Structure 1
Amino acid sequence: MGTNGETPMEAEFDTVARWTEGVVQDLGPEYAIPAGCRGSASPAGLDWLLSTCGIGAGTRLVDVGGGVGGPAGYAVEHTGASPVVADPMVGACRSASRLFGLPAVVADGGRLPFTDGAADAVWCLGVVCTMDDKDALLTEIHRVLRADGPLGLLVVVGDEERPAGAPEGNTFPTSDSLRELLRDNGFDLRAEVDVDDLPEPPADWTRRTEEFGEALERAHGDDPRFVEAKDQSQRLATLAEDGHVVVRLLHAVRQ
């Protein structure tokens, strides 16, 4: 347990989510999507997902573990999709609603409050490695996704489940175990790409992301929860630099 009775995972995904809303309000609405995608998605990655998943105007997109709603907001802005964010953190859901006007429900990925086949498409970005029961997550996504519906994933793939120095609450699938996980839960893997192989973000996106990060640290850098969340992110970055993990985008289809 971390400071203020919060785990490092809660500091990273709930407290920082609430802070994100306040900092974006100070900086301006043009910072909302880059801030909301920080650490989880880039324009090139999101465009890849939108294209491979065939997301367009009116697509009923469920973003499982969608955080403050940056990727879902990007989908609305670029395609006119109709997303709903499902996230276990109350602060994240509130920020998704306030920053992007998105419907958001507090829900664990293993128990989604949607009827069978309710979603035309599902995104699940940066969530698989944070779930102990990965089968339960994929089973629920399979249930709420329509037949032949697309699933877009961003997954941190490891050379082992828990490399030394891994962030708290993270267990990484290997490439082989991830493919088995998808196959065993009724998904056909159609395409995949490593994030490092995609184009860099535009300069304006990078600038706003950096300015947001600087403003967030000025406002909350002395808070122990900020330090915990930053440590979580740095641990993951170190594993990536050392070649123990890669961030991969995948497109699969419900069978």
Structure 2
Amino acid sequence: MPSVTEAVEALVRATADLPDEEMDRPWTWDAYDEEGLRFALLLAQHELRDLAVRMSALRRAPATQAELILTQYHAAYRDLTGALAGTQDEDLDRAPAAEEWPVREVLRHMLGAEYGFLGVVQYARSPERPADAARAEAGLSGFRERHGYRGPAELPGGIAEVRTALFEVHRRVLRELAGLTDDELEWPAFFWDGERPIRFRLHRFAAHLVQHTVQVDKTLVAIGDAPTEAQRLVRILYRELAPVEMLAAGGVGEAERRAVAATLWDRAGEIEALVNVVPH
């Protein structure tokens, strides 16, 4: 049985590369027979949103502030995933203009920041951090080196490899900070801009992703790879998937998740068969 994430990915694979005219292909759900194939994705958005509501209602304990901040961070990550849904290997290295970064370089910068932010937070929580402020500042770089909190100098491969690299650091952030307490949010954490509370550092994860996702958007448009209607819709699906994934990490709503996953998985197969076999 696929997970909700796997089912959404199947739906994305079936639709992300469809041209705009395919969105007018007839597709019917119950009494809804006038919207075309786009309604298959709009309905999936509806189903994911409702699933998130149902799962939230089943949650036994309220989320901590740290969990809520990480949920915002995950939403920003999923929006980036959606922004890259239609990106091809050849798009990664096409600079929009002289002296401007191509998509690969923007993503490499984002990747490095993820490692940097995580290292700063974990250093603030670590028993290795000296109590003396000057010694603590001097020790940050070595701590990052020892524990692998440095981003790669290069980001090789095609879009699949690049997305995997982004996923791996994102997963590491969520895993390492899963136990962060609300009290720890007020602990001081030093970085290039001085000493600020972990709360501020934690919000920087999402803020930085949002900033450079906009840069990715602008770059793709500048190189002639503006999103199609299908790509705009699957980006919305990734956004709606984010809260479901965060709630699922706590084991909430297993039966509800199975039902929606099965529906989306079957719909992906239906669309794939429709566009590959039936002429428009």
**TM-score, structure 2 length as denominator?**
0.27
Structure that is richer in helix per residue: 2
Structure that is richer in strand per residue: 1
**TM-score, structure 1 length as denominator?**
0.29
Structure with greater Cα Rg: 2
